[in-house]
Amino acid sequence: MNEQQILLALGGIGIAALGSQWLAWRLKLPAILFLLLTGILVGPVLGWLDPQELFGPLLMPLVSLSVALILFEGSLTLHLSEWGEIGSVVRRLVTIGALSTWAVITLATHWLLGFDWLLALLFG
C-alpha cells in the first residue's frame, strides 16, 4: 500500500466516523452503534478496508487505545446521582448475568466442543 492509498483510507475512515457521529446525533442514539455498524460494513462486509494491511503491527495497540477511549468516554457520561435508582439492576446484571453466562458457556464448551470439565470451567 503506497502513501496515497494510506492517506485516502485514513481520510475515508475520518469521513465515515464523522457521518456516523452526525447520524447518531440526528437520531438521538448512541454513536457507538453507528460507528460499529459502519466499521463492519466498510471492513468485512464490503471489503473496502483491510485493517491488517492498513495499520500493520500498529493494529493491536490502536485497538487497545480505542477501547480505552471508548470506556473513558462512557465513564464521563455516568451520573452518580442515578446509581441509587439503578443499583439493583446493576447488581443483578453483575451477579446473575455473569454467573448464568459462565454456566451456559461452560456447558456449551463441554457438550458441543467436547472439552473436559476442567477446561470447560476455565473456558466458561
Q: Encode pLDDT of 69-95 as tens digits.
A: 988 988 888 777 777 777 778 788 888
Place of cell 472439552: 115
Examine the domain organization and report whether 54 and 94 are in the same domain.
Answer: no
* pLDDT score for 80: 75
The domain of 107 spans 83-123
Amino acid symbol at 10: L
Examine the domain organization and report whether 61 and 118 are in the same domain.
Answer: no
Across 6-20, 28-42, 50-64, 69-83, least confident range: 69-83
The rounded distance, in Å, linking the Cα atoms of 95 and 13 is: 38
The stretch 42-69 carries a mean pLDDT of 91
Residues 6+ apart with CB under 8 A from 103: 124
* pLDDT score for 90: 79
Report the domain count for the chain: 2
Examine the domain organization and report whether 67 and 16 are in the same domain.
Answer: yes
The stretch 30-43 carries a mean pLDDT of 91
Examine the domain organization and report whether 25 and 60 are in the same domain.
Answer: yes
Evaluated on CA atoms 14, 43, 124, 98, the torsion sign reads positive
- Percentage of the chain beyond pLDDT 70 is 100
Examine the domain organization and report whether 20 and 59 are in the same domain.
Answer: yes
Examine the domain organization and report whether 69 and 90 are in the same domain.
Answer: no
Per the prediction, the chain carries an average pLDDT of 89
pLDDT in tens, 87-119: 778 788 888 988 999 999 999 999 999 999 999
Examine the domain organization and report whether 33 and 68 are in the same domain.
Answer: yes
Examine the domain organization and report whether 53 and 93 are in the same domain.
Answer: no
Dihedral, CA atoms, 90, 38, 13, 43, nearest 10 degrees? 110
Examine the domain organization and report whether 29 and 59 are in the same domain.
Answer: yes
Examine the domain organization and report whether 13 and 71 are in the same domain.
Answer: yes
Examine the domain organization and report whether 51 and 90 are in the same domain.
Answer: no
